[in-house]
């Protein structure tokens, strides 16, 4: 067990460093702007829980493959079996450790890393808006600008497509107008603290203030051009930063899923189902990612034994193959998260359940 913990610790350090390279570059960029070292350190630390969510399963897989591959190639495994120990007894400490890792990952994925990434987002917000064009990210609703909710379908630098702008009453929170545009061009006017979006091929939907629910009384206006001006000063004065889906803890995601009318009541039913589907995918991916250490260990023990290779390269190649298959399902789920009819939230469970069942079967066969 001591050898396993040593290899696991070294793998954690190396893999976590590799995952943190992007954060290191960003921290250096922040430091170059003359900000205090304390802020740079906080920025880097806030990124660690997110990296750890991925590095723990990978490290557990690699260290288990490496350890049992070495035991098999050095005939130490045969010696332990000759002493009356079964493969289950030999592997049980590592399997138990993987269960503890999964529990730690579950708490990290559902509570710690959402809170730390949100704290990091608030930290970046407090440092000021350096490039306001980057605030408009494609594929999500942006609510940071007071009085507006903006959805960007596609974005290529400063050009956007399939953009929807909801103008919202600041007191009541009701949508007063909906602007849909095929395309648009963004530009930042830092002197006047404005983010300019010049929309093309626009269709406006203006509900009747007296009867906002009556679609028959909604006015429709078409326009070739329509300007949207977003005040950056109001953005920087905001104390609360809107939470993205990845910033929400498990209870917050569960509440949104159970109460779509309260959270997405202003959306059309079809759009509401899409948002619930994306929440379900996010929730299930986090739980499945937390169960990955146990699944990886169950697969890695028999695979390490059958590799019969002492070199670490064999364990590394097997690790990459198993990880590729697992994360391929995660990518597929993310790709289909806007298609609730495909039940994308069930896709992350396929490699977890299949991997655990296959690992138990291989262990039983190897024993």
pLDDT at position 237 is 56
Within-domain flag for 11: yes
In-domain check, residue 110: yes
- What does the pLDDT read at residue 310? 45
> In 3D, which of 126, 366, 91 has the Cα closest to residue 236?
126
Residue 265 counted as domain residue: no
Domain end residue (candidates: 237, 265, 288): 237
- Judge contact between 98 and 293, C-beta under 8 A: yes
Same domain assignment for residues 24 and 59: yes
The secondary structure of 19-49 as a DSSP string is HTHHHHHHHHHHHHTT--HHHHHHHHHHHHH
Query: Which residue, of 237, 259, 292, is where some domain finishes?
Result: 237
Question: What are the residue ranges in the chain where pLDDT is below 50?
Answer: 239, 309-312
Residue 68 is predicted with a pLDDT of: 82
* 81 in the same domain as 14: yes
Residue 206: which domain range?
145-237
* pLDDT computed for residue 329 by the predictor: 92
Q: Which residues, 6+ apart, have CB-to-CB distance to 165 below 8 Å?
A: 148, 149, 150, 178, 179, 180, 181, 197, 199, 228
Q: Which two tokens stand for residue 72?
A: 């098999």
Q: In this structure, is residue 341 part of a structural domain?
A: yes
pLDDT of 314 reads 56
Cα–Cα nearest to 274, from 365, 366, 139 = 139
> What is residue 30's predicted lDDT score, i.e. its pLDDT?
61
249 falls within a domain: no
Strands ordered across the beta sheet of 159-168: 141-142, 148-156, 159-168, 175-189, 194-206, 219-231
Secondary structure tally for the chain: helices H, strands E: 12, 6
Q: Are 283 and 257 in contact, with CB atoms under 8 Å apart?
A: yes
Q: How many domains does the chain have?
A: 2
Residue 314's CB is within 10 A of a number of other CB atoms, namely 18
Per the domain annotation, does 245 fall within a domain?
no
139 domain residue, yes or no: no
Q: Check residue 172 and give its pLDDT.
A: 72
Assess contact for 306 and 366: CB atoms under 8 A: yes
**Residues 256, 272: contact at Cβ < 8 Å?**
no
In a domain, 285, yes or no: yes
């Amino acid at each position: 067990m001591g050898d396993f913990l040593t290899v696991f610790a070294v793998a954690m350090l190396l893999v976590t460093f590799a995952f943190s390279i992007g954060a290191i570059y960003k921290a250096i960029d922040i430091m170059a702007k003359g900000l205090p070292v304390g802020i740079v350190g906080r920025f880097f630390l806030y990124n660690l829980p997110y990296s750890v969510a991925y590095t723990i399963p990978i490290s557990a897989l690699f260290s288990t493959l490496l350890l049992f591959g070495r035991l098999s190639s050095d005939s130490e495994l045969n010696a332990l079996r000759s002493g009356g120990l079964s493969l289950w007894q030999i592997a049980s400490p590592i399997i138990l450790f993987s269960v503890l890792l999964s529990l730690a990952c579950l708490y990290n994925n559902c509570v710690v890393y959402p809170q730390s990434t949100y704290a990091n987002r608030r930290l970046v917000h407090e440092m000021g808006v350096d490039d306001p064009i980057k605030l408009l990210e494609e594929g999500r609703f942006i609510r940071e600008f007071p009085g507006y909710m903006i959805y960007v379908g596609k974005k290529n630098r400063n050009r956007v497509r399939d953009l929807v702008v909801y103008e919202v009453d600041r007191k009541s929170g009701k949508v007063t107008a909906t602007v849909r545009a095929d395309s648009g061009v963004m530009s930042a006017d830092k002197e006047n603290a404005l983010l300019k979006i010049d929309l093309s091929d626009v269709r406006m939907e203006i509900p009747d203030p007296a009867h906002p629910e009556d679609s028959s009384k909604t006015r429709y206006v078409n326009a070739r051009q329509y300007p949207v001006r977003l005040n950056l000063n109001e953005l920087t004065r905001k104390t609360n930063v809107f939470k993205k889906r990845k910033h929400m803890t498990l209870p917050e995601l569960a509440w949104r899923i159970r109460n779509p009318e309260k959270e997405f009541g202003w959306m059309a039913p079809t759009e509401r189902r899409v948002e619930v589907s994306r929440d379900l995918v996010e929730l299930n991916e986090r739980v499945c990612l937390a169960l990955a250490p146990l699944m990886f260990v169950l697969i890695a023990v028999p695979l390490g034994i059958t590799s019969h290779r002492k070199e670490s390269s064999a364990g590394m190649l097997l690790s990459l193959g198993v990880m590729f298959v697992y994360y391929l399902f995660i990518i597929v789920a993310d790709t289909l998260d806007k298609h609730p009819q495909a039940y994308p939230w069930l896709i992350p469970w396929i490699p977890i359940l299949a991997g655990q069942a296959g690992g138990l079967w291989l262990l039983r066969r190897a024993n």
